[in-house]
Amino acid sequence: MAIGAGVIAMDTLTLLFHGTQAVFQPLNFLFLILGCVLGQAIGVLPGIGSAAAIALLIPVTLNLSPTASVIMLAGIFYGTNYGGTITSVLMNTPGESASVVTAIDGYQMAKKGRGGPALGIAAIGSFIGGTVGTLGLAFGAQWFSDTALKIGASEYFALMIFAVALVTVLATGSPVKALLMGVLGLLIGTIGIDPDLGIPRFTFGQIKLYDGINFIAIVIGFFGLGEILVNIERKVQDTIYTQVGSVLPNKQDLRDSAAPIARGTLIGFVLGIIPGATSAIASFLSYGVEVNRAKDPSRFGKGAIEGVAGPETANNSFVNANFIPLFTLGIPGTASIAMIMSGMMSNGIVPGPFLFRDNPDFVWTVIASMLIGQVILLVFNLPMVRIWVLLLKIPYSILFVLILEFTLIGAYAVSYDTFNMYVMTISGFFGYLFKKMDFPATPFVLTLVIGPLIEKNLRKSLEISSGEFAIFYQRPMTLILLLGAAFTIIWPVFKWLKMRLKNQKESSRSRNGGA
């Protein structure tokens, strides 16, 4: 067994080596750089996500070799995630669902003059996550994808409940407010055609609402515009952003981030190979885990570097692991990877069990290009951090208008619809009100994103079990995750009760002593 695995690893190395050589052919290398640069630019710009960008470029690739095409499209795919961080951190306007979490602590870091380290650690984490994801693809694609298929709707449902439990319970401040915001997010998530039976809910007869309210538009408003309104209300001052601070993470930052990056890599990779999981869940789960592991969870939401390092890593590890089910089974896990699949198909390459056998040159060149792409992105990114951070030197009295423009473009471009500009503005106004009254945004955003998935997978689990709830306790992984969620909720209550009991005893003892 061990010898067999060794031989396979050797073969893989040889193949990877040949692939690497092919990547350095001028045309392939040119398109790799082009893909990475384009991806990053698309990530920085509001609204257009990688799925839309890849879709736009597929017709262009029809005149290229399939290998060069897919190298470029893949570069756009993982490059977007590097870029998406920048607007989240500097402007609090996440352009894609995966960078929503980054905005929570990343923006707070920027406000404290630590925008540089936030972007730096995101780039480093992304590099590690992306590289590990790709290595998984190179060395164990078949095994990983077969194993991931064992994860069904009930496990997926339990996993999301666990993520919600982690984030809502540990939100700082009033738990009642956190729960109210969580419920509100779930509720807005129910608008539209119901995920299972196709019946419109709360749509008031408007077809526009059938697909639900676009959550990116809501989040851009809630975070980006809401923040501007809070600032604007106290006069337009220029003091907020003037200090940019150090540009790269220091030793302490790296030490604080090491464990979150390791955990983020694992979380992202595992979710990446499960068909149907989204990178937003990976980043939220990583965030929840980091809050849970922290000695002082109250630092989160106020600029904790772990809150940036973990989720950013998870999200890149996810993205690269996403290629595993695509290459081995032809199953695209997310919308963006589905675009890459159609890019492959329209170039005459069909992903599936024969891909590695029939097109080894193609596969290994693309895999090698993804590894080299990570290096290119890191090399481009770290020096770029200095330039991006300069953005914060623009006086706030000018910057705020530019951010406003970006919130408008971002909301519009997600579906090319001015309706979303209204959605964004109104969400922004509510975001401002909630912020003033200390209603936390994190539970709202999380449930908004994954609420529909929770409902869908609950229904699907019950369809699979023909209506028997036993599916939730007879499948071991489902049970473990649900127990984990229950424990996460009960533990703080238990701790609180214990403390209260102890205090009471002490106070009664001191009273007795005094008497």
Partner 1 sequence: MKRAENITASIFMVLGIFVIKGATSLIYMTDIGPGPGFFPMWLGVLLLFLGMLLIIQNVFSKKNAEIVSAEPSEPLWPGKAGAIRVAIVVLSLLAVAFFISYVGFRIAIFLLISSLLYTLGKQKILTTLSVAFVGSFGVYFVFTHFLYVELPKASLSWLSALGL
Partner 2 sequence: MKNKFKLAVSALSIAGLLLNAPSASAAVYPAKGKTITIIVPYDAGGAGDIGARMLAPYIKTAIGATNVEIVNKPGAGSQVGISALAAAAPDGYTIGFTHLPATITTYLDPTRAATYDLTKLTPLAMMVVVPTILVVRAESKYMSIKDLIADAKGGAKVTISDSGILSDGHLASLQLQQLAGVKLQAVHSTGGAATTADVLGGQVSAGTLNVGGATNELIKSGKLRILGIFSKTKDKTFPTAKTAKEQGYPIYVSTSRAISGPAGMSASVVIKISSAIRTAMLNPEFVAKANAAGLYLKFMWPNQLQTYWSDMQTATIPLMALKNS
Residues near partner 1, by CB under 8 A: 41-42, 45, 47-48, 53, 56, 174, 176-177, 179-180, 183-184, 186-187, 190, 194, 196-197, 199, 201-202, 225, 228-229, 232-236, 397-398, 400-402, 404-405, 407-409, 412-413, 416, 418, 421-422, 424-425, 428-429, 432-433, 436-437, 439, 455, 458-459, 462-463, 466-467, 469
Q: What is the DSSP string of 67-113?
A: HHHHHHHHHHHHHHHHHHHHHHHHHS--SSGGGHHHHHHHHHHHHTT
- Near partner 2 by CB under 8 A: residue from 149, 259, 266, 378: 149
Instruction: Name residue 192's beta-bridge partners.
Output: 201
Most distant CA pair in the chain, distance: 92
Distances from the Cα of 189 to the Cαs of 209, 235, 277, 448, 488, in angstroms? 11, 35, 17, 5, 24
The helix/strand/coil state of 248 is coil
Tokens of 132: 């590990």
- The gap from C-alpha 260 to its chain's centroid, in whole angstroms, comes to 14
Binding map of partner 2 across residues 267-286, x = CB under 8 A, - = no contact: --------xx----------
Residue 282 and residue 129: Cα distance in Å, rounded? Answer: 12
Nearer to partner 2, 355 or 384 (CB): 355
Residues 406-425 that bind partner 2 (CB under 8 A): 415
Nearer to partner 2, 318 or 444 (CB): 318
Minimum CB separation of residue 485 from partner 1 in Å reads 17
Partner interacting with residue 404 (select from partner 2, partner 1, none; CB below 5-8 Å by kind): partner 1
* Cβ 306 vs Cβ 257: under 8 Å: yes
Nearer to partner 1, 359 or 461 (CB): 461
Minimum CB separation of residue 85 from partner 1 in Å reads 19
- Near partner 2 by CB under 8 A: residue from 110, 153, 165, 229: 153
* Cβ 374 vs Cβ 132: under 8 Å: no
Interaction between residue 214 and partner 2 (CB under 8 A):
no
Residue 150: Cβ within 10 Å count: 10
Residues 442-471 that bind partner 2 (CB under 8 A): 456, 459-460, 463-464, 466
Partner interacting with residue 402 (select from partner 1, partner 2, none; CB below 5-8 Å by kind): partner 1
Tokens of 96: 């894609």
Residue 207 and residue 341: Cα distance in Å, rounded? Answer: 30
Tokens of 462: 């019950």
Residue 9 and residue 103: Cα distance in Å, rounded? Answer: 39
Residue 409 and residue 103: Cα distance in Å, rounded? Answer: 18
Nearer to partner 2, 206 or 239 (CB): 206
Nearer to partner 2, 136 or 351 (CB): 351
Interaction between residue 342 and partner 2 (CB under 8 A):
yes
Beta strands in 135-286 (DSSP E): 192-193, 200-201
Q: Which window, 25-33, 49-57, 119-127, 422-430, contacts partner 2 (CB under 8 A)? A: 49-57
Residue 451 and residue 160: Cα distance in Å, rounded? Answer: 9
Nearer to partner 2, 259 or 338 (CB): 338
Spatial CA neighbour of 217 closest among 467, 431, 489 = 431
Minimum CB separation of residue 70 from partner 2 in Å reads 14
Interface positions with partner 2 (CB under 8 A)? 51-52, 54-56, 58-59, 149-153, 193, 195-200, 205, 207-208, 210-211, 275-276, 325, 329-333, 338-339, 341-342, 345-348, 350-355, 415, 456, 459-460, 463-464, 466
